[in-house]
Structures are given as C-alpha cells and as structure tokens.
C-alpha cells in the first residue's frame, strides 16, 4: 500500500561519491534540469528512475534481471543468446574432443544453469551467475584467433596467457566443460 510520499534516498546528494554525483548531474542535465534542481529533486526523492543515470537504460544492472523482465531487455537478451551460442560453438571446437568434455554441462555453464542431475524429484534448473557479456566477447575473440591460427596444439598451450584469464576467477567459470 502506497502512502503517496516519495521514497527518499538512503543518503543525500552531497554524500554521494564525487563520480556518482557527476554521472547523475551529467545525465539529468541532458534532460534539461539545472544542477540545483537535480540536487533538490534527488534529496526529495522525486528525481525519478536512476537506472539510466547508472548506464542501464537498455541493459539490466545484473545479467539475471533480463530473464525476469524479458520485454524490457529484449535487445539485450537477443545479444546474449547470440553470444552464448557462439561461445558454445568455440568451446566445442577447442575442447570437444577431450574425454572429460560434457556438452550439456558445458552449455549449462555458459547459460549460468546449475546442474540438477543429483537433485531429488527432478527439480527445475536454477540459474546461477551468468557470465558477463564482455567476458564472453573476450573469450570469442581469443578463441577464434586460436582456431584460425596455424597448427594449434592444445597440449602445448599456456591457456592463461593465451586467453588472459585466471581459472580461479569465478567470472570465467562459464569456460568449464566437465
């Protein structure tokens, strides 16, 4: 039940980090507001949605949010789907002949789906942390370079140097294949 009063921010504009202040000022100046209007409306809780000022007009703040609001983020979802399909193909080309490679588990890692093989009652797959688009794009760039290069030897490859990744970094977990 709404009380009709605007929700005030957790902290006043003057207590925001300088870069955050500047980003909000820059965004709302483009909409025709003066600096004093922006500060006043922010502090009163009447400035309006802040997501665009944070750089999320067309993209979700967290990748999983796209699945909850598919209509709003349709373009982003299409881009993610295309990238996921490309990453899956490059992973299969690079790792598909390794005896430990499991196509379903590999695909699920890219799509952020936790395995449900050992869950009682056949529970629905749970979406885990989705890989960031930048990480998938970086992998595609490097992976395609490797595949296009002359006589690539997986055994002799220094994967961390070739892909410039850290296997301990959970943001790269989508590369796991078994």
117-162 pLDDT, tens digit each = 545 555 555 556 778 888 889 888 888 877 777 666 666 666 666 6
Give the global pTM: 0.64
In 3D space, the residue among 24, 6, 5 whose CA is nearest the CA of residue 14 turns out to be 24
The number of folded domains in the chain is 2
Q: Collapse the DSSP code of 113 into the 3-class scheme (helix H, G, I; strand E, B; otherwise coil) and give the result.
A: strand
Residues 70 and 151 both lie in one domain: yes
* Ramachandran sector of residue 53 (left: φ over 0; alpha: ψ -120 to 50; beta: rest): alpha
Residues 52 and 80 both lie in one domain: no
On average, the pLDDT of the chain sits at: 78
More confident residue, 27 or 115: 27
Domain hosting 142: range is: 65-175
Please report, rounded to a whole number, the percentage of residues in the chain having pLDDT higher than 70.
Answer: 76
In 3D space, the residue among 6, 45, 47, 43 whose CA is nearest the CA of residue 27 turns out to be 47
Tokens of 30: 């483009």
Residues 34 and 117 both lie in one domain: no
In 3D space, the residue among 150, 153, 172 whose CA is nearest the CA of residue 163 turns out to be 172
């Amino acid at each position: 039940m709404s009380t009709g009063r605007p929700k005030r921010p957790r902290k006043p504009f003057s207590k925001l980090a300088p870069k955050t202040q500047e980003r909000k000022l820059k965004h709302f100046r483009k909409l025709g507001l003066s600096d004093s209007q922006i500060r006043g409306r922010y502090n009163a809780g009447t400035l309006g949605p802040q997501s665009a000022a944070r750089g999320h007009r067309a993209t979700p703040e967290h990748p999983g949010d796209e699945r909850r609001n598919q209509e709003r983020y349709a373009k982003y979802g299409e881009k993610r789907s295309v990238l996921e399909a490309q990453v899956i193909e490059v992973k299969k080309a690079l790792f598909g002949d390794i005896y430990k490679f499991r196509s379903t588990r590999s695909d699920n890692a890219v799509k952020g789906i936790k395995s449900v093989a050992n869950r009682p009652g056949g529970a629905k797959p749970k979406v885990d942390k989705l890989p960031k688009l930048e990480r998938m794009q970086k992998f595609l760039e490097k992976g395609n370079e490797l595949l296009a290069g002359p006589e690539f030897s997986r055994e002799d490859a220094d994967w961390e140097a070739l892909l410039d990744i850290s296997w301990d970094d959970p943001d790269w977990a989508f590369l796991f294949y078994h």
